[in-house]
């Protein structure tokens, strides 16, 4: 939604403060800010108070300043008072920190004569998604029986406080504040922005706060890798509490709403509704709430959130996207459900890009693409993209007689030569490269303003699988399907599927793909190769599919993204 005509966000002067969020037994630091709008320029225009105006006898003397702060808030959809209801459905209470305290200072009413009043006029689409309280009464926006767009009152001698709350994301309005004389004529006027924050998805350059993996026993190698590397930043989820559903990335996606005084974590809960459907309830608490877009029972594999990602900050055709751009698998016939896709497009600040993933059996963008931090790069990142030619080049550089025990057991290829010499497999991969991967490379370059120097090729080979109508899955574990664990104050760690492209499964040092992949990563990154084979790879997923990450926001939309709202 765009701002109504004439609306603008004022630059805020910010004071830093710190709060803490307890999440799953872990204290998660949050950086919060308070803001106060800057004073307006003395324009002396009609309808605005000139600070040099000394008033008249009719107005009762010199007028006070008539300028007010913008109202920036978040969706009041959590449950701060732990009543079992969304806070929007209840009268605001002291514990409700998602309600904005909007103040008209007492000195604004200096010079008010007898009979003078204040008129508030709310303009914008869907005013039912905002509510102004004055005292204990709703006076503007949504009320139980009506939607109000005008409110007139007589101010007292003290500050006038309004509690403002929103229901939903990225709703924008203007509020006109008029000083009326006893005859209803406008003495002074001001206009401020009223807006609920957009939902903003996380990207891989944001610091990782906490990670989760479902522990089902068979994935102990992966659990141990995380626990050893991350300590208390990692929590295993007991498999018996979630129906032994290991695909935690597919169930939820974390996003945020940030305001000048608060941060809300939103759990985008998918409509897949399998065992992990109960997991969000384990971490929901004040300032963390879940919401679902779409109709349960209509889900396809495309509605799992390995198919929902965001780039780091980018600039495309001169337009800055300070929170990156969302991308997901979707075509006119197939893909992520329309309700969620339309909602994400409506947030505007991350301008989603739709990718054809119908050639993949599972159909997720994380099967062939990922972004990793690269502080030495001008853009701050590198993108990893699946590359079939690089896959065959690597295999052809190896001794064809090299035994591949894992591939022999689960893919029917006993040696490197068996893969290289399979003409049908080669023809299939040539088609996948020409028809899908090459166009995706070109689309990434165009939509995300990438050049070849921004891309790291990930050796990839795909194979068909029964029951997928000719769609393909990764033969060599999809190494772009990784996790970026960039915990603040620590070296960035990548958790990468072990490709097992070697004769001795226990000897990672002998694996040419392990060596070449680690060498291709940006300086300062620690590559941790995880055995995800039995629980994830043979079940058509990898490390990223089985992990979820909460991340810290690193920018304020009202400071850096207003050009994407107007």
Residues with a catalytic annotation lie at 545
Place of tokens 């689960």: 410
Q: If DSSP codes are grouped into helix, strand and coil, which group holds residue 218?
A: coil
Place of tokens 């006070």: 64
Sheet holding 455-459, edge to edge: 369-373, 381-387, 455-459
Which residues are within 8 A (CB) of 423 and not within 5 positions of it... i.e. 6 or more apart? none
Radius of gyration of the chain (CA): 28
59, 112 Cβ separation under 8 angstroms: yes
Among residues 484, 495, 475, 491, the alpha carbon closest in space to that of 537 is found at 475
First to last CA, the chain: 8
Taking the C-alpha atoms of residue 193 and residue 7, their distance in angstroms, rounded to an integer, is: 6
Among residues 299, 313, 315, 96, the alpha carbon closest in space to that of 200 is found at 313
432, 531 Cβ separation under 8 angstroms: no
Taking the C-alpha atoms of residue 496 and residue 377, their distance in angstroms, rounded to an integer, is: 22
20, 185 Cβ separation under 8 angstroms: no
Taking the C-alpha atoms of residue 385 and residue 372, their distance in angstroms, rounded to an integer, is: 11
Which residues are paired to 255 by β-bridges? 201, 266
Taking the C-alpha atoms of residue 263 and residue 283, their distance in angstroms, rounded to an integer, is: 16
Alpha helices in 286-437 (DSSP H): 338-346, 388-396, 405-410, 416-420, 423-432
Taking the C-alpha atoms of residue 410 and residue 377, their distance in angstroms, rounded to an integer, is: 39
Residue 3's CB is within 10 A of a number of other CB atoms, namely 18
Q: What is the H or E stretch that residue 243 is in?
A: none
Among residues 203, 223, 221, 204, the alpha carbon closest in space to that of 213 is found at 223
């Amino acid at each position: 939604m765009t701002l109504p005509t004439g609306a603008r966000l004022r630059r805020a002067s910010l004071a830093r403060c710190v709060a803490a969020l307890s999440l799953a037994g872990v204290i998660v630091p949050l950086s919060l800010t308070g803001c106060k709008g800057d004073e307006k320029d003395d324009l002396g225009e009609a309808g605005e108070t000139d600070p040099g105006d000394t008033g008249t006898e009719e107005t009762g003397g010199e007028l006070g300043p008539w300028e007010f702060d913008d109202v920036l808030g978040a969706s009041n959809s959590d449950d701060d008072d732990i009543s079992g209801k969304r806070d929007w459905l209840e009268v605001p209470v002291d514990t409700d920190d998602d309600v904005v305290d909007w103040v008209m200072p007492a000195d604004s009413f200096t010079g008010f004569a007898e009979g003078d009043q204040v008129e508030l006029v709310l303009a914008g689409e869907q005013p039912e998604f905002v509510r102004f309280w004055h005292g204990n009464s709703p006076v503007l926006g949504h009320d139980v029986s009506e939607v109000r767009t005008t409110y007139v009152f007589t101010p007292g001698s003290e500050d006038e406080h309004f509690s403002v709350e929103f229901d939903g994301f990225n709703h924008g309005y203007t509020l006109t504040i008029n000083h009326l004389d006893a005859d209803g004529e406008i003495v002074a006027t001001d206009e401020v922005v009223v807006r609920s924050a957009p939902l903003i998805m996380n990207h891989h350059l944001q610091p990782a706060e906490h990670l989760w993996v479902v522990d089902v026993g068979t994935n102990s190698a992966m659990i141990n890798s995380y626990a050893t590397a991350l300590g208390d930043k990692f929590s295993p989820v007991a498999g018996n509490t979630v129906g032994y559903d290991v695909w935690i990335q597919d169930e939820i996606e974390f996003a945020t709403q940030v305001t000048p005084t608060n941060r809300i974590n939103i759990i985008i809960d998918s409509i897949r509704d399998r065992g992990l459907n109960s997991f969000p309830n384990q971490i929901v608490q004040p300032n963390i709430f879940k919401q679902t877009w779409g109709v349960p029972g209509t889900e396809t594999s495309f509605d799992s959130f390995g198919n929902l990602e965001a780039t780091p900050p980018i600039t495309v055709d001169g337009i800055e996207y300070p929170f990156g751009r969302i991308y997901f698998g979707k075509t006119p016939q197939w893909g992520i459900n329309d309700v969620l896709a339309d909602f994400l497009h409506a947030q505007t600040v991350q301008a989603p890009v739709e990718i054809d993933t119908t050639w993949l059996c599972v159909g997720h963008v994380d099967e062939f693409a990922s972004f990793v931090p690269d502080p030495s790069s001008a853009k701050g990142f590198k993108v990893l993209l699946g590359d079939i030619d690089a896959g065959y080049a690597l295999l052809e550089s190896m001794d064809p007689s090299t035994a591949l025990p894992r591939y022999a057991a689960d893919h029917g290829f006993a040696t490197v030569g068996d893969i290289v010499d399979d003409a049908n497999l080669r023809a299939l991969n040539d088609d996948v490269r020409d028809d899908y991967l090459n166009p995706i490379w070109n689309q990434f370059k165009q939509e995300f303003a990438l050049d070849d120097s921004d891309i790291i090729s990930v050796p990839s080979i795909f194979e068909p699988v029964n029951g997928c109508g000719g769609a393909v899955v990764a033969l060599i574990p999809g190494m772009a399907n990784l996790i970026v664990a960039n915990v603040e104050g620590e070296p960035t760690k990548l958790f990468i599927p072990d490709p097992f492209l070697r004769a001795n499964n226990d000897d990672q040092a002998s694996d040419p793909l392990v060596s070449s992949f680690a060498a291709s990563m940006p300086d300062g990154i620690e590559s941790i190769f995880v055995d995800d084979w039995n629980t994830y790879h043979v079940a058509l997923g990898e490390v990223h599919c089985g992990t979820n990450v909460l991340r810290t926001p690193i920018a304020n939309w009202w400071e850096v993204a207003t050009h994407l709202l107007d």
